[in-house]
Structure 1
Amino acid sequence: MPRNADNERHWHAIAQRYDVEPGPINLENGYFGRMSRAVQAHYLEHISFINRSNSVHVRQCFEQGENVEIRRELAGLIDVDPESVAFTRNATEALQSLIRNYNRLQPGDQVLISDLEYDTVKGAMRWLAGSRGVEVIEVSHNHPASFDSLVQTYHDAFVKYPRLKLMALTHVTHRTGLVMPVAAIAKAAREQHIDVILDGAHALGQFEFNLAELGIQFAGFNLHKWMGAPLTLGFLYIAPERLADIDPDMGESHYPATDVRARTSYSTPNFPALMTLPLVFEEHRQLGGAAAKGARVNYLRDLWVSQVRPLPGIEVLTSDDPRLYCGITAFKFIGRDQQVMVDRLLKEYDVFTTTRSGAAFGTCIRVTPGLVTSAADINVLVNAITELNKD
């Protein structure tokens, strides 16, 4: 176990950097993350300043240099060329821009999604059927999933559907936290000349990765989940050598066609949020980066899963293969209405979780600890599940 992952005193001190509203134990930290108190204060200062200075600072300073440095820092975070990233409001906007503007499809081509993709990604890929005349292929993954079964599902699809040209792939599935074997799948896709658009919404900040080593050339990310940035911040990535394969967004002309920033809509962004990012990145590094954050939430995940998985009335839907999970994990009360059980967890035990649906295995309950979650909080969850399971 990485150093400090199980050190409650260490993580209690870190938790004190965050303001937490009194109320239920929040185990639904997958929606969006908290800003630290320092980041929040910095953000509020920027809001006040931009409100006072208005366009004077934005036109003279932010657009003339500050944004370039912030973009450079972002690129350094994932070790890519600054010319390969462009800010968006979130991962969804980034992924929709990449899918909408991918220009290598012809009528009759096929595109691929799985049951585990985010709904807006599925929707965007299905939109291609009407706008480009392509056929959408959807595969369902075997459950329970293994590393080999996940890769094999894609191998089989690539053989069965020889007209495949583009596929969506989710790094960390939002329903169960399953971590897909991206490098192996992308390698198999590349051998069949299939391009991959990666949904990295939940990956950034939970674990370390290298896009070049993964073989990924198109991706979208969030900064407001595991990085602790203000809401309204995400970004897209396009490998520089593939820029021409993504058209400027709906004739976007604020940037030249040679600029990656032309691949998403130009608008008045949340300047104060963007100006807060240098502090967000600094705090991320001070905490030990994704390695430390990921180790902590994985430890908390293992605490409850190890005690709940053996229960006969409970099905944990996420693998224990360390290659395939992160802090997010989902489970079911077998034969029960999952929404009813989520409501009971909240009403009877003051534990806040959420249901997720849309996968082949049906509705599940997602549990997502965060940096303010303690081992004591996890013990409350375990006790709640154990008692409800006997009911």
Structure 2
Amino acid sequence: MQRNAQDELHWQAIAQRYDLEPGPINLENGYFGRMSRAVLKQYQDNVAFINRSNSIHVRQCYEQGENVEIRNQLAHLLDADPEAIALTRCASDALQSLIRNYNRLQPGDQVLISDLEYDTVKGAMRWLARHRGVEVIEIAHEHPASFDSLVQTYRNAFMSYPRLKLLALTYVTHRTGLVMPVEAIANAAREHGVDVILDGAHALGQIEFNLAQLGIAFAGFNLHKWIGAPLTLGFIYIDPQRLADIDPDMGEFHYPATDVRARTPYSTPNFPALMTLPLVFEEHRLLGGSEAKGARLNYLRDLWVREVRQLPGIEVLTPDDPRLYCAITSFKFTGQVDQQVMADRLLKEYNLFTTTRSGAAFGSCIRVTPGFLTSAADIHVLIKAITELATF
């Protein structure tokens, strides 16, 4: 897979399967992914078909078996029990449902978040403080981070706060792309009786993992980032042996309490998008799955990080330990307080589209995220831009 990761002709051929709007070089592929031309066509055809057939197809076919088959295929992709999965609009919806319906908290218990969690997750955990009478413990990770320091930070928290019962943990942090050592942290949490709710929004599609091996019972994922599904699709994962620890969502009654689908709001979903998922999963497998995708994205990331990490005036915020990074990596111009100024210059002077992120203990940064249509030539433009701007 590593050889294919560096094969520009191979990835150029893959890029031909996608439509690309003329404009800046997109190095902000972390927001959401592109559908291939084939997936887009099927989605558009599905929209037209459902619009024509209306509830007839949905009632007679989708609800009578198509939905079950789609769920089974997703479970196969994840190497999980289909009974552990319910489709949602996105990872945020799944995570909010897990947090608000987790029923093992008592007033006076503590819950844990870090500076690198997604803001929606932070907000949901703080909601627990207002509505359940729990205390929110907020920690900041040591920077620069290492595998051992990340695990030790959580071990220290577990020992310092004996009333901790629940931890929100992000697999791939959206600010810097730092990949958390989930298995080691989950093992430490279990030793102290702390449950983990995993934010896997950026992990699925670029990292190979097994939730049972990681020791994760509760998680939320996106399907519209690195898998290539239409907006907006995601899913919730609950280990069937732990289902009783998550209440049905706001008394949801359309499914029995023994069904994971009762843990999400019942509503009319985007049927045309859901009906594209078998093709999305097939294309993901044909590309080589998360192993091949992750290898390519990591290769592109390494190309630019290797060249700019030692430049004066540049700080790359994501470690080079291969266990701790993926496609996303962030950096900052150390001589500039406002990183947005430099992101604007990257766009105006070099035609490079990036995004800024703030909220971490180390301050604001510029996030760079290559995608499957990114070429090595695009990355060399980024290297040139950072090198030249670093001299100012």
TM over 0.5: yes
Q: Once the two structures are superposed, what CA deviation does each residue of 1:273-330 show, in whole Å capped at 9, x if it has no partner?
A: 0000000000000000000000001000000000010101000000000000001100
1:304 aligns with 2:318: no
1:338 aligns with 2:330: no
What is the one-letter code of the residue matched to 1:276?
A: T
SS in 2 for 1:390: coil
SS in 2 for 1:21: coil
SS in 1 for 2:291: helix
Whole-angstrom distance in 2 between the partners of 1:296 and 1:232: 25
Whole-angstrom distance in 2 between the partners of 1:39 and 1:66: 18
Q: Which residue is equivalent to 2:236? A: 236
Whole-angstrom distance in 1 between the partners of 2:358 and 2:269: 32
Q: What are the within-5 Å matches in structure 2 for residues 276-295 of structure 1?
A: 276-295=276-295
Q: Which residue is equivalent to 1:379? A: 380
Aligned-pair Cα RMSD in Å: 0.6
What is the one-letter code of the residue matched to 1:314?
A: I
Q: CA deviation at 1:130?
A: 0.5
Whole-angstrom distance in 1 between the partners of 2:211 and 2:77: 12
TM value normalised by structure 2:
0.99
Q: Percent identity?
A: 81
Q: Which residue is equivalent to 2:211? A: 211
What is the one-letter code of the residue matched to 1:111?
A: V
What is the one-letter code of the residue matched to 2:130?
A: G
What is the one-letter code of the residue matched to 1:388?
A: L
Q: Once the two structures are superposed, what CA deviation does each residue of 1:85-128 show, in whole Å capped at 9, x if it has no partner?
A: 00000000000000000000000000000000000000000000
Q: CA deviation at 1:232?
A: 1.1
Q: Which residue is equivalent to 1:364? A: 365
Q: Once the two structures are superposed, what CA deviation does each residue of 1:215-260 show, in whole Å capped at 9, x if it has no partner?
A: 0000000000000000010000000000000000001111111100
Whole-angstrom distance in 1 between the partners of 2:155 and 2:130: 27
Q: CA deviation at 1:165?
A: 0.3
Q: Which residue is equivalent to 2:60? A: 60
SS in 2 for 1:197: strand
Q: What are the within-5 Å matches in structure 2 for residues 98-117 of structure 1?
A: 98-117=98-117
Whole-angstrom distance in 2 between the partners of 1:322 and 1:300: 13
Q: Which residue is equivalent to 1:348? A: 349
Q: What are the within-5 Å matches in structure 2 for residues 85-100 of structure 1?
A: 85-100=85-100
Whole-angstrom distance in 2 between the partners of 1:74 and 1:100: 25
Q: CA deviation at 1:335?
A: 2.4
Q: What are the within-5 Å matches in structure 2 for residues 233-272 of structure 1?
A: 233-272=233-272
SS in 2 for 1:4: helix
Q: Which residue is equivalent to 1:226? A: 226
Q: Which consecutive residues of structure 2, in runs of 5 or more, have no partner in the other structure? A: none
Whole-angstrom distance in 2 between the partners of 1:159 and 1:82: 36
Whole-angstrom distance in 2 between the partners of 1:257 and 1:215: 24
Q: CA deviation at 1:207?
A: 1.2
Whole-angstrom distance in 2 between the partners of 1:266 and 1:319: 42
SS in 1 for 2:272: helix
Whole-angstrom distance in 2 between the partners of 1:314 and 1:114: 25
Whole-angstrom distance in 1 between the partners of 2:366 and 2:306: 16
Whole-angstrom distance in 1 between the partners of 2:135 and 2:201: 26
What is the one-letter code of the residue matched to 2:231?
A: L
Q: Which residue is equivalent to 1:183? A: 183
Q: Which residue is equivalent to 1:20? A: 20
Q: Which consecutive residues of structure 1, in runs of 5 or more, have no partner in the other structure? A: none
Whole-angstrom distance in 2 between the partners of 1:328 and 1:174: 8
Moved more, 216-225 or 335-344: 335-344
Whole-angstrom distance in 1 between the partners of 2:91 and 2:5: 28
What is the one-letter code of the residue matched to 1:13?
A: A
Q: Which residue is equivalent to 1:120? A: 120
